Structure 1
Amino acid sequence: MGINSERRVGAFNFATVLALCLGSLTYGYSFSVTSTTLGQPSFFSYFNLSNDELSPSYAFTNRIIGGLNGCFSGGGFLGAIFGGWACDALGRKKTLLVCTPIGVLGGALQGGSVNLAMLLAGRLIGGFAVGVLMVLVPLFQSEIAPPATRGFLVSQHGVVVVFGYSAAAWIGYGCYFSTMPAFQWRFPLCLQALWPLVMFILTPFLPESPRWLLMKNRPREAWDVLQKLHDTKNSLDRSSFAKMELYQITKQVAEDQEMSSSETVWTLFTKASYRKRMICAFLVMFGSESTGILVVYNYSVLLYEGLGFTGSIPLLLAAAYVTVAFCGNYISSLLVDRIGRKTSLVIGISGCGVSLIFEAALSATYVGTTNHAGLSAGVFFLFLFISFYGCFVDAATYVYCSEIFPTHIRSRGMSWSLAILFLSTVAYLIPAPTAFAQVGWKYHLLFILLTAIQAPLLWIMLPETKGLALEEIGEKFGDHVAVHITQLASDEKDEVERMFVESIEPQIRNIGTS
């Protein structure tokens, strides 16, 4: 039986992946809601902030705006570190039960804020919750997805993250027309609490990761989960992908556990194969953020205002912008298993860099003028930028970083990856309002330079991982693989099945009947 022909995704498997995407929605909506909040005049009035560049208090406003994003990203960094520990110590399901109520609290504090301190505290707490979720969701999805469709399934995380961006943008646009000033900005902020609340309610119905269960010496539970994920019921007598996968995971986990007994956290940086993974994860996450994506989006309303658009139009353009990103991420989920992770990332980051070159040139020439054609061209290149990012970069980053680490260090590897993401957003987002106010289009030059460096580095450094089982990817980084079950010749497949029947099938029968 060849694994490459095993492209069918079971209904329970797909439902579990989609349920986990509520965590993706929590991040996407919570991060994006700041952008639409900055388009609501009533928000500025309530907190006595000024959006007039000539006002003496404008500098203070920029610091508060930077602080809103800085608190969220700082909380995300702390949450990512905690998530790396919790996913291993508590398990994937229990970690969800811990972090989702924290997300509800963060959203409630922001929506009910009566002063800036309460608002900033809510952003910090909400950021912590999504930091955990951003580690957990793609990790969990990668551990339950079949190899042939893992890219598509894990990409749904990226798709729903951007759906969250889009939902926040359109809700913010609709609330702009409310006749109740408080509702305009409080309602979108309050909605942040809904998504983690639903996630909390659904979590008891989700399975635990079979790989985590095997790491904890709970093979019977792992086998039950694999049967559900692959819709094999109790058909122990017929050869199935679930049985093959259990065989491979069991063998690799045993080998990994033997290795891990002598490892410490520093082994992540001292062992050559682990260190290469850490470097690749850093390059992927730092490279994706160094396109300037979150700066461009999170301050998109301010950018459109700088390009001469007023009233509700900046909010409408921001909503359309993330809708394009959402569609692009779905296209990415269809492409990533076909063209590969590395190719996708390099095409996307290169396209983002080129788009920013034109955007910077047009902004330098036409911002502050009434040239309609030039300003419209500026909007076009912002949309071209997000098309490249959505179609090739966004979802692929989570797919790649969730699959390159072996099971026993996967949560720590994802923790590292997301910590890099959140630290990058802190570095770029906090100074962004002041940078745009003081140097304007020149701030784009930073991201143009970084994308020019990152694209060739990714092409040189990243091993391709498409189509391989999680346990086989280690070979790309120099680790030993206990069992191969993908991309085998016919005689090799027969040999693996013979080994399976002789050594593992009796154990499965015992598990099923004990």
Structure 2
Amino acid sequence: MAILNGKKEAELAAGSALAETLPESSKPWYRTWHIVKLNLVLLVPLLSSASLGYDGSMMNGLQTLPQWKHFFGNPEGAILGLMNAVYPLGKVFALFLVTYVSDRFGRKLPVLIGLVTCVGFAIMQGLSQNLATFVTARALLGFFTSFISQPSPVLITELAYPTQRGKVTALYNTFFYFGAIFAAWCTFGTFKIDSTWSWRIPSILQGAVPAFQLLGLYFLPESPRYLVSQGRHEEAHRFFIEYHAGGDADSALVKFEMDEIERAITEEANVLSTTSWLDLIRTPANRKRTFIVLILGWFSQWNGIGVVSYYLTLVLNTIGITEAKDQTLINGLLQIFNWLAATFCGALMVDRIGRRTLFLISTAGMLCSYIAWTGLTSAFVASKGEGMGRAVVAFIFIYYFFYDIAWTPLLQAYTVEIYPYTLRGRGLSFTLITSFVGLIVGNQVNPIAMKSIGWKYYIVFCCLLAVLFVLVWFFFPETKGHTLEEIREVFEGKLENSDIEKTGESEASHNEEDGKYKQDTKQIELA
């Protein structure tokens, strides 16, 4: 995290204009009470990602348990795919509703709804008496998990201290592995129970993290940008005074942030309809943003990660590691490794290394790792050599390291940065919808392909990763060194007041057959 008087660190994170407004202090952030208090309340939305991580790791663990397999009739192929796919399928249907609720009633209300329902349906899942109840509970869990996973990263990026925004928002998705670790070690600890409670306990504990979040939700502030958009400027002003300025009502930082947010939201109100999803593709800049998040969402699932995250058991079976104890242990150790890599080599490096550079390093590393992983698996199948099997496990860890440094911390963080306030919720929902659709397809295709062609299926992902590297190279801009409102200029350039006014006039021409604005109307162009 940045030190309050570290001007270089501040400029690196949020630009020189904001750095000039920071108070002079020799104390680091962890000795500055109002920053500590803010980061403590941000733990509530940060933990939302743990619910998603818990589910994938739990399902990996349950598939290793003989008690679970026997109770549900040894599910495989399409049935196993259905048990996994209903979770993200429920999330997709919910995202349209939660986006409206979040934009209309604030970021906190959907979080409250999601936390309460996730606790209830986790209990239903754990007490299931048949396959239909288990699948229904998972579908409902998926639906209401969207109520916490969509607004949480938006809340974080809109509440965080400006010089810490990039790191804290990137930390959000690293908590995915906190949930994964919790689930992995729960299943490792219960696999010896000779009854259905070996899988019921981990299933019920899926509601433990949401229950903990409920305890702190009361203390979490509402987004100041939402408050400004609703005309509640005084409430937003009080938030900045308390949490960003430590009670200093005359702080230059507070004035800078309030002025910037009020100006940006006014400009967006002139440019956007504020109600239509078509705004995501209305202008050249928004089309570029939406194309980027389409890449982010789809390839977050179709870069090879889906094969391991939900079907690690099938991968380990192909290299001769078949004992439940060994599989659950590897799963548990892998999740700890992932959290450390995503946090210290990814999230905390976003301001130093940059988002674009991390994406390029990550994708290139995943490609090289997958090629090696594929070759070693092929050699193991031919020779059945124990050493080859161990080498495959090593490359699973190496592959995950490269995935963790960018695709874990930046999936949501990069999305909420590149969209302006008015489109931030819809943009993030589009990313998540794309990601969940990719996950649904993967959950149906991956187990069938793994069963049919085994390790040869990995070749598909080697090709996809090569395509992904090219897309990142040509389309992903760097966003470090800007405040949240300034990132708009990376896509649109600096706006003059006359441009803003005239852009509003161009709305009447959106429905023309050629889909372009009239030539005599100024529009926002991509810089």
TM-score by length of 2: 0.85
Of 388, 399, 410, the match for 1:374: 388
Instruction: Give the AA of the match of 1:174.
Output: G
Change (3 A) 1:302 1:181: farther
1:173 aligned onto 2:185 = no
1:14 aligned onto 2:33 = no
Of 70, 95, 98, the match for 2:85: 70
Question: Which residue is 2:467 aligned to?
Answer: 453
1:406 aligned onto 2:431 = no
Question: Which residue is 2:253 aligned to?
Answer: 241
- Deviation (angstroms), 1:420: 0.8
1:355 aligned onto 2:380 = no
In structure 2, distance between residues paired with 1:148 and 1:458: 26
Instruction: Give the AA of the match of 2:334.
Output: Y
- Deviation (angstroms), 1:293: 1.0
In structure 2, distance between residues paired with 1:265 and 1:314: 44
- 1:39-438 aligned at under 5 Å gives the runs 39-49=64-74, 61-178=76-193, 180-233=194-247, 235-237=248-250, 239-261=251-273, 264-311=276-323, 312-331=325-344, 332-367=346-381, 369-438=383-452
The CA deviation string for residues 269-306 of structure 1, in whole angstroms up to 9 with x for no partner, is 13211111111111122222221213212111221122
Alpha-carbon RMSD across the aligned residues, in angstroms, is: 1.9
Change (3 A) 1:482 1:294: farther
Asked if structure 1 preserves the Cα contact closer than 8 Å seen for 2:318 and 2:454, the reply is no
In structure 1, distance between residues paired with 2:373 and 2:123: 38
Of 33, 54, 70, the match for 2:58: 33
Instruction: Give the AA of the match of 2:259.
Output: Y
- Deviation (angstroms), 1:310: 2.8
In structure 2, distance between residues paired with 1:150 and 1:342: 17
Asked if structure 2 preserves the Cα contact closer than 8 Å seen for 1:18 and 1:156, the reply is no
Question: Which residue is 1:23 aligned to?
Answer: 48
In structure 2, distance between residues paired with 1:362 and 1:109: 42
Question: Which residue is 2:525 aligned to?
Answer: none
- Deviation (angstroms), 1:371: 0.7
- Deviation (angstroms), 1:129: 1.9
The CA deviation string for residues 110-131 of structure 1, in whole angstroms up to 9 with x for no partner, is 1111111111111111111222
In structure 2, distance between residues paired with 1:482 and 1:421: 36
In structure 2, distance between residues paired with 1:203 and 1:434: 42
Other structure's SS at 2:370 match:
helix
Change (3 A) 1:192 1:255: same
Asked if structure 1 preserves the Cα contact closer than 8 Å seen for 2:56 and 2:309, the reply is no
Asked if structure 2 preserves the Cα contact closer than 8 Å seen for 1:252 and 1:481, the reply is no
Asked if structure 1 preserves the Cα contact closer than 8 Å seen for 2:171 and 2:409, the reply is yes
Asked if structure 1 preserves the Cα contact closer than 8 Å seen for 2:118 and 2:145, the reply is yes
Instruction: Give the AA of the match of 2:310.
Output: N
Change (3 A) 1:479 1:32: farther
In structure 1, distance between residues paired with 2:188 and 2:496: 54
In structure 2, distance between residues paired with 1:71 and 1:114: 18
The CA deviation string for residues 330-370 of structure 1, in whole angstroms up to 9 with x for no partner, is 12111111111111112112211111111111112213753
- Deviation (angstroms), 1:261: 4.3
Deviates more, 1:187-196 or 1:197-206: 197-206
Asked if structure 2 preserves the Cα contact closer than 8 Å seen for 1:210 and 1:222, the reply is yes
In structure 2, distance between residues paired with 1:231 and 1:126: 39
Asked if structure 2 preserves the Cα contact closer than 8 Å seen for 1:110 and 1:119, the reply is yes
Asked if structure 1 preserves the Cα contact closer than 8 Å seen for 2:177 and 2:335, the reply is yes
The CA deviation string for residues 157-204 of structure 1, in whole angstroms up to 9 with x for no partner, is 1221111111111111111123x3212111001001122222233222
- Deviation (angstroms), 1:480: 4.3
In structure 1, distance between residues paired with 2:461 and 2:450: 13
- Deviation (angstroms), 1:104: 1.6
Change (3 A) 1:108 1:286: same
Gaps of 5+ in 1: 50-59, 484-514
- Deviation (angstroms), 1:481: 5.0
Question: Which residue is 1:57 aligned to?
Answer: none
Question: Which residue is 2:509 aligned to?
Answer: none
Deviates more, 1:6-15 or 1:310-319: 6-15
Change (3 A) 1:137 1:482: farther
Deviates more, 1:153-162 or 1:111-120: 153-162
Change (3 A) 1:361 1:261: closer
Instruction: Give the AA of the match of 1:123.
Output: R
Count of equivalent residues: 470
In structure 2, distance between residues paired with 1:98 and 1:263: 23
Question: Which residue is 2:517 aligned to?
Answer: none
In structure 1, distance between residues paired with 2:403 and 2:100: 31
Asked if structure 2 preserves the Cα contact closer than 8 Å seen for 1:12 and 1:228, the reply is no
TM-score by length of 1: 0.87
In structure 2, distance between residues paired with 1:425 and 1:438: 19
Other structure's SS at 1:439 match:
helix
Runs of 4+ in 1 over 6 A off after TM superposition: none
In structure 2, distance between residues paired with 1:130 and 1:120: 15
Asked if structure 1 preserves the Cα contact closer than 8 Å seen for 2:281 and 2:290, the reply is yes
Asked if structure 1 preserves the Cα contact closer than 8 Å seen for 2:89 and 2:142, the reply is yes
In structure 2, distance between residues paired with 1:242 and 1:30: 40
